[in-house]
A and B are shown apart, each in its own frame.
Chain A
């Protein structure tokens, strides 16, 4: 691992609200607060794991971070550039530095383009390489992700899921990015393939000095990969901490509940594992509860939770959590 002193990505108070329109005249009837004021930093060369239930807004965070959305509020800084409000050419010029690997390797590849052209298209757009150079670069990338070079003339549908994800990775790497958002890159893959892809991502991180935001709902995988972990619930980060600290001593009741669902590799501990079952459904992000977002399902809820929203606070060694019980 590289020195993790300098933050590559700084996010402050990021909000991503999607408007809801209703009625014949399409009046704005409210908004889905998919991401509602989150702040974090990602250090150069580290992997920040972002976990949470589906619908908690983690994918939105990933996309907003790369400015695939126009964000509602907050600032995003990548490699020293403030990208929160820039648009058009300016933003496009910064694209090579930050890339994304998508969850569904099938849908995220244009079905009518060959693998070669999918990988080389960013090169057409952002570099002035000659045809031969581009071919060579595509070959190198395919080597790097473990794809035979002669696959370059084939179409995505001719590949297996794992191979497609390798194509997606090769494509993301084409412009030598510094920062890659991995949006559940293994969720759609067979378990046997997952490990291969994860190992590939680790190797590439080492090889190219990449910084990852790794979005997943798979806590075991995050534990394996991440240096730090952020836990999201209903558009907010409830806890963020170095990996071991989080897994060993989670502070937030939600994190506890999540971790209690993960089987432990040690059989002796596994036998004593007590599963915390959360009751009820996740509230709608268009109408979040008053106070703490988690108050409707929290097993340890106290009165204040229903009126005052807890702040994310440092509880030592970079271990942050937002919970009234800790205060």
Chain B
């Protein structure tokens, strides 16, 4: 397993380099202009100078290499310096800098991570917690009214977009009932009970909207996997052994059914980091998803490039993690 992991990690390096180039190439070819959103009162000759100051007058290949140097060498060095509080070389090196904020992209990402992890991550956890029991009960009582209801809700979760459910929740709970704020306060700090209550209140709507969406998909996976396993002979064996029904379902069937579901969950984790663009936008959570969409709108290529690449890294990494988890959970799978 260890050798397998190392081998896979080594293989990811050329893959990721290739991905980074493809992203850069696509972003560069896309028609976009970082000065496009500026007021028309800024005359064209000034725009030319602005573009030049952003390095856009250089050929694409040079800009790509520059980005590679900034991202793969300068940023890690900078991170090491900050972690260990040391200075390497003269300590001044060009970092990947956003065009719109003129600040290092990595700092922006670090600033955005908490709310994204809290809201999107929490919604993922809540989604899992909802989905697994629903999936288990739906499969165990296949075609019962509970199962039909579960199918109905997951269909709803699949087909109703989050911008609709989000807006609906705002209209009901913020405008009419005044229970929850419609705008997320990213600067809010939890220090005592009442601030914790506020945090819960402002998280509840985005978390539930996303959790509903996640649960819809996961509960289907869970149900299918449970149904698969419920019909296996070993379940009959377990019953013949005279085990309690609870033990049969929870120990034998559930644990085997979770193997593929856990893999699906692991593969979905990069989406958590990627943020939920639409939901973040609706509730003004301003996490990584919102950062990405602002970057795209403003043609902030270093920001978009870096974020997209980080997502790519996470996707590749979690694919590997999913494979490893599969190997750990299922004794039949052995790598090497």
Contacts and interface: CB of A to CB of B under 8 A. Distances in A.
A102 B237 contact: yes
Contact of B238 (A26, A110, A111): A110
Nearest to B143: A26
Contact of B330 (A103, A104, A109, A112): A112
A96 B240 CA distance: 9
Given A125-B247, A155-B332, A109 B234 contact: yes
B8 interface: no
Contacts of A74: none
Interface of A: 21, 26, 63, 66, 68, 92-96, 99-100, 102-104, 107-112, 121-122, 125-126, 155, 157, 168, 171-172, 175
Contact of B242 (A63, A111, A112, A125): A125
Nearest to A174: B241
A155 B238 CA distance: 16
B244 interface: yes
B244 A157 contact: no
B330 A108 contact: no
Given A125-B247, A126-B242, A63 B332 contact: no
A68 B331 contact: no
20 contacts: A63-B236, A68-B240, A100-B237, A100-B240, A102-B233, A102-B236, A104-B233, A108-B233, A108-B236, A108-B237, A110-B238, A110-B256, A111-B256, A111-B332, A122-B241, A125-B242, A125-B243, A125-B244, A126-B242, A172-B240
A99 B237 CA distance: 9
Contacts of B232: 107
| A-B complex: 4 closest residue pairs judged by Cβ atoms | A95-B242, A108-B233, A107-B233, A155-B331
A241 to B, nearest CB: 29
A171 B237 CA distance: 9
A111 B330 contact: yes
B236 A110 contact: no
B242 A122 contact: yes
Interface string B214-246: 000000000000000000111011111111100
B256 A96 contact: no
Contacts of A107: 232-234
A253 B26 CA distance: 77
Nearest to A94: B242
Nearest to A103: B233
Interface in B302-317: none
A132 B228 CA distance: 36
A157 B333 CA distance: 10
Given A102-B237, A125-B247, 12 more contacts: A26-B143, A66-B240, A92-B243, A93-B242, A99-B240, A107-B234, A110-B252, A112-B331, A121-B243, A125-B244, A126-B242, A157-B332
Nearest to B258: A112
Contact of A92 (B242, B252, B332): B242
Given A107-B232, A157-B331, A112 B255 contact: yes
Interface in B239-274: 239-244, 247, 252, 255-256, 259
A79 to B, nearest CB: 15
A110 B234 CA distance: 5
A93 B241 CA distance: 10
A239 B226 CA distance: 41
B242 A68 contact: no
B3 to A, nearest CB: 20
A104 B235 CA distance: 13
A111 B331 contact: yes
Contacts of A171: 237, 241
Contacts of B236: 63, 68, 100, 102, 108
Interface in B180-235: 232-234
Contacts of B330: 111-112
A108 B242 CA distance: 15
A107 B236 CA distance: 10
Nearest to B242: A95
A112 B237 CA distance: 14
Contacts of A103: 233
B244 A68 contact: no
A16 B238 CA distance: 21
Contacts of A125: 241-244, 247
Contacts of B233: 102-104, 107-108
Contacts of A100: 236-237, 240
A108 B329 CA distance: 19
